[in-house]
Structure 1
Amino acid sequence: MSKPYPDASPYPTAPAAWDPENKSSVNITPPPYQEPSAGGFGGGYQTGYPTVPPQNSYTPEPGQYGMNPMGHPAAVTVQPGVYITQVQLAHPEPEYLGYSIFTMLCCCLPIGIAALIYSISTRDANNIGNLDLARKHSRTARVLNHTALGIGICILVIWIGAVIAINFIH
């Protein structure tokens, strides 16, 4: 079986192992500078800046675009960044968070969860200052809470009636 690399390699040998105690034994010098050749690094393309300024280059006359009347380059002024922040509402919409938690735990769990989500959305809309969205979510949370409370009361009345009917029959 042949070796993957020839014995006589054109590359230098690996550097000696690093000894942090003995730094003077390491004598590593960078390789010498070589001009890029047509077939070497860069593939014949020019690397770096040209050594000769280009012929027929355009230089603006004083007073033209990019130059002020005195012939000096125009100064560049950078505008500061603009940050837009929204302010909380002065009169926020009611969020019905406590009412939503009550209806979720005591009346109707699925509708109470939906009301809780809309209550939190109302709070978020109030915090970012979006009045229309806050009104919409507040109204939806209130309707869901009233519906859950009505369902809870109906279930309670039916349950009490069933208990009375069962006890009255026996």
Structure 2
Amino acid sequence: MDPSQSFYQPPGAYNSSEKSVMLQSAAAPPAYQDNPAGYPPSIPSQPVPQGPYAQGPYPGQAVVTVQPAVFVTAAPLANPAPDYLGYSIFTMLCCCFPLGIAALVYSCSTRDANYSGRRELAEKNSKTARTLNHVAVALGLIIIVVYIIYYFVLINNMNQRP
């Protein structure tokens, strides 16, 4: 569009030279360029137009250089601390529910610490989970033994009454 002309044009009126320029700029995209490293080229390989209004390899398109994202993750430990997850589930379901839940939480924390590479935290959580599991099993066994003794004492008392 010629800058000396007004921006307003009546409907149906257009400049044929402007339309032909638009059709020429809407040509097919450039051919694929193979880059074996997988990174975009740092310098555009198309010729850059020269002039006061040139912005990039194509008119009206800015050149943006993007650096690829690199994600750094910690590798899991080679010799992880035991998490006692199965033991925790067993004690939660069969022995002592509250202590089993606490042991399960510490077991999951041990697994997370092992995966993130924090050895000291994994060992601490592993020992806490093991201790809670042992206490839950012992408490569960004590409760079962006390219940059996109470049951036999109750039956003996009923049998002794006339």
TM bracket, shorter-chain basis: 0.5 to 0.7
* TM-score normalised by the chain length of structure 1: 0.52
1:166, 1:127 → 2: CA distance?
Answer: 52
Per-residue CA deviation, residues 98-138 of structure 1 (Å, 9 max, x unaligned), is: 11011101111111001001001111111111111110110
User: Are 1:27 and 2:11 matched, yes or no?
Assistant: yes
Structure 2: gaps spanning 5 or more residues: 1-9, 14-65
2:121, 2:84 → 1: CA distance?
Answer: 15
Partner of 1:129: 117
Partner of 1:167: 155
Partner of 1:40: none
- Matching of residues 7-156 of structure 1 within 5 Å: 27=11, 83-156=71-144
1:88, 1:141 → 2: CA distance?
Answer: 20
Q: Secondary structure at the match of 1:122?
A: helix
Computing the radius of gyration over CA atoms, which structure comes out larger, 1 or 2?
Answer: 1
More helix by share: 2
Please list every run of at least 4 consecutive aligned residues from structure 1 whose deviation after the TM superposition is greater than 2 angstroms: 26-29, 78-84
* TM-score normalised by the chain length of structure 2: 0.55
Q: Secondary structure at the match of 1:27?
A: coil
1:109, 1:83 → 2: CA distance?
Answer: 40
1:155, 1:28 → 2: CA distance?
Answer: 93
Structure 1: gaps spanning 5 or more residues: 1-25, 30-77
Equivalenced residue count is: 98
Q: Secondary structure at the match of 2:139?
A: helix
Partner of 1:51: none
Q: Secondary structure at the match of 1:87?
A: coil
1:119, 1:28 → 2: CA distance?
Answer: 75
1:84, 1:109 → 2: CA distance?
Answer: 39
Compute the displacement of 1:169 (Å). Answer: 1.5
Look up the equivalent residue of 1:130 and give its one-letter code. R
